Amino acid sequence: MQFIDLKTQYLKLKEEIDTRIHQVLDHGRFIMGPEIGEVEEQLAEYVGCKHCLTVSSGTSSLEIALRALDIGPGDEVITVPFTWISSAEVVLLVGAVPVFVDIDPKTYNIDVSQIEAKITDRTKAILPVSLFGQMPDYSAINEIAQRHQLAVIEDGAQSFGATRDGQRSCGVTPIASTSFFPAKPLGCFGDGGALFTDDDSLATRMKAIRTHGGIQRHHHPYVGTNGRFDTLQAAVLLAKLPSFQWEVEQRGKIGARYSALLSDVCEVPHIEAGNTHVYAQYTIRLNNRDEVAAHLKADGIPSAVYYPKCLHEQPVFEPFGSKLGDFPESEKASREVLSLPMHPFLSEQDQDKVVASVANAVAKGAS
Ligand SMILES: *Cc1c(COP(=O)(O)O)cnc(C)c1O
C-alpha cells in the first residue's frame, strides 16, 4: 500500500499527459511557453480570482508575495508554529520577524481569537495556513486585517480545491499561494506553485519579481528572483486539471468514509461548518501515536507525522525568543497527530485494512 499513489493517476491520464509533454518538446519554448498563460487562465478561473501567476515552488510564491508587499527588516508577519517550515521560513528570507499564534486544537488552523493580541505597530501581514486541506475563518481574519491595515496571505499549499462558504481556497484573501509539489492535492511532476490576487498592481509587481524584478527586459526596478514555473510542468497541470474536481470529490468521499469507520476509535478530522476538506492529509489524533504508527508499519501500512516538531522548536527560529510551552496546542498536536494513506484512488479494501490496523493498535493498549 502506498501513502500517496501517483502512479495510478499517471496511468489514468497517461495519454493526455504524454501528449501535452510532447507538444512542449515539439515547440521547444521551455521557459514561459504558451502553456504557462493557458494554465494560469484556467487556475484563475477555477479559484474565482482575477490574476494567477505560476511560480517555481510554493515556497518561492510566498517569498514573492512578501517582497511584493515590501515586507522586510523591522517588519513582523503573523503565522502559526504548526505547519511546514516554508510558511515562516519565507519571513526570515525577506529579513522580517515571524510572530507565532497558536492553533485551534480541533482544526489545527490558526486560532483566530488569539491574532489581535499579537498585532504590534510593526505587524505588516497575517499569513495563515489552510492546514491539511481545510480553510480557517478568512472572513474573520480579513476583518481583523482590515481594521489594522494589514495584508493577508493564505498559504493554500494543502487546500487547493477546498471551499469555505462556497468560495474556493486561494480566492478569499488579498493574496494567496499554493504549491504543485507532486504530493499536494494538485501536483505536477516536479516543483511548482502559484500566486493569486484580484489586485492589478500587486499582480504586476509579483510578475516583475518572478522574473528578476523587471517589467520590461533589461530594466529592473525591484529586487527580484528567478521564480518562473517550467513550461513542461504547466503542460502536466493542463492534463490533470480536467479531472481535478473529480479527484477533490473522491478525496472528500474517502475522507468521510475514514471518519465514519474511525470515529469510535480515535479523534478524526473536525470539519468546520461551511467548509469542504480536500484531505491533503487525513490526520487522526492519538495519545499513543508512536505505538500506533509502529503497529501500522508492522502491518505494512505507511503513515506519516505532520509535523513532529513545531517551528518555534526549530533552531532557525530560536533567535525570536519563543520557548517550549509558549504554544501548548501546537506542541500537543505535534505529539499526537498521525496521517494515514490518502489519495483519490485509495480502494475501500485498502482503506479497510488501514482502519482495522488502527483499531487493533488502539485496542491493544494503545489509547
Ligand atoms: C508544501 C508546502 C509549502 C511549500 O511548497 P513547496 O512547493 O514545496 O515549496 C508551503 N506551505 C505549506 C503549508 C506546505 O504544505
CATH number of the domain bearing residue 309: 3.90.1150.10
Strands annotated E in 192-329: 193-197, 275-276, 282-285
The pTM for the full model equals 0.97
Say if ligand 1 is within 6 A of residue 169 CB: no
Query: Looking at the structure, do residues 263 and 338 belong to the same domain, yes or no?
Result: yes
DSSP code of 183? T
Cα of 131 vs centre of ligand 1, distance in Å, is 10
Query: Looking at the structure, do residues 149 and 281 belong to the same domain, yes or no?
Result: no
Query: Looking at the structure, do residues 211 and 237 belong to the same domain, yes or no?
Result: yes
Judge whether 1 lies within some domain. Answer: no
Query: Looking at the structure, do residues 223 and 249 belong to the same domain, yes or no?
Result: no
Sign of the four-CA dihedral 79, 81, 87, 89: positive
Query: Looking at the structure, do residues 183 and 250 belong to the same domain, yes or no?
Result: no
Query: Looking at the structure, do residues 225 and 250 belong to the same domain, yes or no?
Result: no
Query: Looking at the structure, do residues 228 and 259 belong to the same domain, yes or no?
Result: no
Give the count of domains, the chain. Answer: 2
Q: Which residues are catalytic?
A: 184
Contact 221/208 with Cβ under 8 angstroms? Answer: yes
How far is it, in rounded angstroms, from Cα 179 to Cα 237?
A: 12
Judge whether 19 lies within some domain. Answer: yes
Nearest atom (ligand 1) to Cα of 59:
9
Say if ligand 1 is within 6 A of residue 181 CB: yes
Say if ligand 1 is within 6 A of residue 87 CB: yes
Confidence label for 367 from pLDDT (cuts 50, 70 and 90)? very low
Judge whether 189 lies within some domain. Answer: yes
The DSSP string of 107-126 is TSSB-GGGTGGG--TTEEEE
Ramachandran quadrant class, 95 (left: phi over 0; alpha: psi -120 to 50; beta: rest) = left
Average per-residue pLDDT in the chain?
Answer: 97
Query: Looking at the structure, do residues 305 and 196 belong to the same domain, yes or no?
Result: no
Task: Give, for ligand 1, the residue of 54, 83, 110, 184 to mutate: max count of ligand atoms closer than 8 Å to Cβ.
Answer: 184
Query: Looking at the structure, do residues 155 and 281 belong to the same domain, yes or no?
Result: no
Q: Which range marks the domain in which residue 257 is found? A: 244-366
Supply the CATH number for residue 234's domain: 3.40.640.10
Percent of the chain at pLDDT > 90 equals 96
Q: What is the pLDDT of residues 22-66, one digit of tens each?
A: 999 999 999 999 999 999 999 999 999 999 999 999 999 999 999
Domain boundary among 217, 241, 265: 241
Query: Looking at the structure, do residues 249 and 185 belong to the same domain, yes or no?
Result: no
Identify the residue whose C-alpha is closest to ligand 1 atom 1. 157
Query: Looking at the structure, do residues 225 and 299 belong to the same domain, yes or no?
Result: no
Say if ligand 1 is within 6 A of residue 339 CB: no
Q: Which is it for strands 337-340 and 175-179: parallel, antiparallel or unpaired?
A: unpaired
Percent of the chain at pLDDT > 70 equals 99
Say if ligand 1 is within 6 A of residue 58 CB: yes
Laid out side by side, the sheet with 193-197 consists of: 51-55, 193-197, 175-179, 151-155, 123-126, 76-79, 97-100
Cα of 177 vs centre of ligand 1, distance in Å, is 9
Query: Looking at the structure, do residues 235 and 126 belong to the same domain, yes or no?
Result: yes
